[in-house]
């Protein structure tokens, strides 16, 4: 879908009036020397949800609902799904909601916070085509192998997506947007800022939070000068100078953990990080890249009387009240090999899950993050198999 972008300076003014969000998440696409794709994602939040992993084998029954709580789109998945999930976000949910996920075809799905959404009106749409936004992840990963297929299905209006209110996240339509990547390295972003389902191609391979995605693409024009090449010598009149250390090229790279700052930083790291020669080295590299977005508790602290609007909404809802966003967990995907790596705030090392080995499972299975934290082996696939 072609979009005309407003000048960054105008969009910056728009950003000032858009409400902040309750969580700060970053996802990026990294490619190795052979062009093979890997996806990294951090999950920052003021609570501890999602708190478990779920495996859905091919053939799993997914039952969505209409805004009135009646049965909506129902289908059996074609592909297996492995995900970090949230349970019971709304009272009538029939299955977990995917927060960070992949299918056995190498298609990934990421849920990031985005406030200011407006749900499409699905009145008059046949109920069997109506899909809650909470089930869009299982619909996409359960039925499609590439982002092109997802994009085509949404363009053909095979489903009508609506956004429920999430009591846990306060008032308003479901405050999220989604990033999808596949084994070709292609990516899309799905948003609902104008009451319609809008799909954007993702040429930069990054998604954070507010403002909406087109603003971030336009804002990147302000950073055309960024480079990974140091300039270590200079001259001021008759004084010749030489730097004692490297890294001066990053002086203008945003250091703040706001959504615009993280977007630019993610674009920088995913562009200039060394292109690894092997999948193993690529995962090592991606893990180090994602460490730059890992936020310990109280590094960014909001006082109770001065919370961002997203956290104020949560404090007034049934969700937890907190004053410090923290990186609850980090995920790395090897899209080609079907490897899913997870590290929580309570672990030093990643746990690896091989979705291909899970094909012996014939029914959905849940593993808690507490069980993942107790794992002492790199390969944690057996947590699902035992």
Q: In whole numbers, what is the pLDDT of the chain averaged over residues? A: 90
Residue 17 confidence (pLDDT): 35
3 state SS of 58: coil
Does pLDDT of 180 surpass 70? yes
DSSP notation for 322-369: -SB-EEEEEEEEETTTTEEEEEETT-SS-EEEEGGGGGG--S-EEEEH
Average of per-residue pLDDT across 162-188: 93
Residue 315 has a pLDDT of 52
| pLDDT mean over 66-94 | 94
As a whole number, mean pLDDT of residues 87-100 equals 90
Quick one: pLDDT band at residue 169, thresholds 50, 70, 90?
A: confident
The residue that leads in pLDDT, 312 or 142, is 142
CA distances to 109, 180, 340, 354 from 187, rounded to whole Å, are 10, 5, 18, 22
pLDDT at 172 over 70: yes
Q: Is 343 or 302 the better-scoring residue by pLDDT? A: 343
CA distance 201 to 147: 9
Q: How far apart (Å, rounded) are the C-alpha atoms in residues 192 and 120?
A: 8
pLDDT at 91: 83
Cβ pair 109, 143 in contact under 8 A: no
Q: Which of 83, 17, 23 is nearest to 313 (CA)?
A: 23
Which pLDDT value is given to residue 16?
A: 34
C-alpha–C-alpha distance, residues 275 and 72, integer Å = 45
Residue spans of the domains in the chain: they are 8-385
Q: Calculate the alpha carbon distances from 315 to 257, 299, 311 in Å.
A: 21, 20, 6
Is the pLDDT at 319 greater than 80, yes or no?
Answer: no
Residue-level pLDDT at 325: 82
The Cα-based distances of 2 to 77, 198, 200, 257, 369 in angstroms read 31, 11, 8, 30, 41
pLDDT above 70 for 21: no
Helix (H) / strand (E) containing 374? helix 369-374
Q: pLDDT tens across 22-64, in order? A: 468 999 999 999 999 999 999 987 665 688 999 999 999 999 9
Higher pLDDT pick, 309 / 291: 291
Only one residue has tokens 């009387």, namely: 305
Residue 351: pLDDT above 80? Answer: yes
Helix (H) or strand (E) holding 14: helix 8-17
Tell the residue number behind the tokens 């429920």, with chain if given: 164
Tell me what percent of the residues of the chain surpass a pLDDT of 70.
88
CB atoms near residue 257 (< 10 Å) = 17
pLDDT at 120 over 80: yes
Q: Is 8-385 assigned to CATH 3.60.60.10? A: yes
Cβ proximity of 385 and 345 under 8 Å: no
Closest CA to 356 of 376, 371, 334, 375: 334
Q: Tell me the pLDDT tens digit for each residue of 222-262.
A: 999 999 999 999 999 999 999 999 999 999 999 999 999 99
Question: Does residue 324 carry a pLDDT above 50?
Answer: yes
Between 3 and 209, residue with greater pLDDT = 209
Helix (H/G/I), strand (E/B), else coil: 167: helix
Asked if residue 2 has pLDDT above 90, the reply is: no
> Looking at the predicted structure, is the pLDDT value of residue 140 above 60?
yes
Averaged pLDDT for residues 316-334:
76
Is the pTM of the predicted complex or chain greater than 0.85? yes
pLDDT classification of 20: cutoffs 50, 70, 90: very low
Give residue-wise pLDDT tens across range 53-67. Answer: 999 999 999 999 999
What does the pLDDT average to over 72-96?
93
Q: Is it the case that residue 92 has pLDDT exceeding 80?
A: no
- At residue 159, does pLDDT exceed 50? yes
Q: Yes or no: say if 133 and 72 are a contact pair by the CB < 8 Å rule.
A: no
């Amino acid at each position: 879908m072609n979009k005309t972008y407003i000048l960054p300076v105008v969009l910056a003014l728009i950003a000032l009036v858009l409400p902040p969000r309750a969580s700060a998440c970053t996802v990026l696409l990294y490619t190795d020397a052979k062009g093979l794709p890997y996806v990294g994602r951090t999950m920052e939040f003021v609570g501890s949800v999602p708190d478990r992993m779920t495996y859905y084998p091919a053939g799993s029954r997914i039952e969505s609902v209409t805004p009135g709580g009646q049965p909506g789109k129902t289908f059996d998945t074609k592909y297996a799904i492995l995900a970090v999930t949230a349970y019971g976000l709304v009272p009538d949910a029939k299955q977990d909601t995917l927060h960070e996920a992949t299918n056995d075809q190498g298609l990934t799905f990421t849920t990031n916070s985005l406030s200011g959404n407006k749900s499409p009106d699905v009145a008059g749409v046949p109920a069997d085509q109506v899909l809650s936004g909470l089930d869009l992840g299982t619909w996409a990963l359960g039925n499609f192998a590439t982002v092109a297929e997802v994009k085509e299905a949404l363009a053909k209006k095979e489903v009508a997506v609506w956004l429920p209110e999430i009591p846990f996240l306060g008032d308003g339509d479901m405050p999220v947007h989604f990033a999808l990547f596949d084994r070709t390295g292609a990516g899309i972003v799905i948003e609902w800022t104008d009451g319609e389902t809008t799909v954007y191609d993702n040429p930069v391979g990054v998604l954070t939070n507010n403002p909406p995605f087109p603003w971030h693409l336009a804002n990147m024009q302000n950073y055309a000068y960024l480079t990974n090449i140091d300039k270590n010598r200079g001259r001021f009149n008759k004084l010749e100078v030489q730097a004692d250390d490297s890294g001066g090229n990053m002086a203008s790279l945003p250091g703040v953990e706001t959504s615009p700052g993280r977007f630019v930083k993610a674009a920088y790291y995913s562009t200039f990080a060394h292109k690894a020669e092997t999948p193993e080295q690529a995962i090592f590299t991606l893990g180090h890249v994602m460490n730059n977005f890992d936020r310990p508790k109280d590094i960014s602290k909001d006082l109770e009387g001065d919370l961002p609007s997203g956290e104020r909404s949560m404090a007034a809802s049934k969700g937890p009240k907190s004053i410090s966003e923290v990186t609850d967990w980090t995920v790395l995907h090897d899209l080609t090999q079907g490897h899913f790596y997870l590290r929580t705030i309570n672990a030093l090392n990643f746990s690896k899950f091989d979705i291909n080995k899970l094909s012996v499972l014939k029914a959905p299975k849940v593993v808690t993050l507490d069980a993942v934290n107790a794992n002492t082996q790199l390969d944690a696939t057996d947590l699902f198999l035992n």
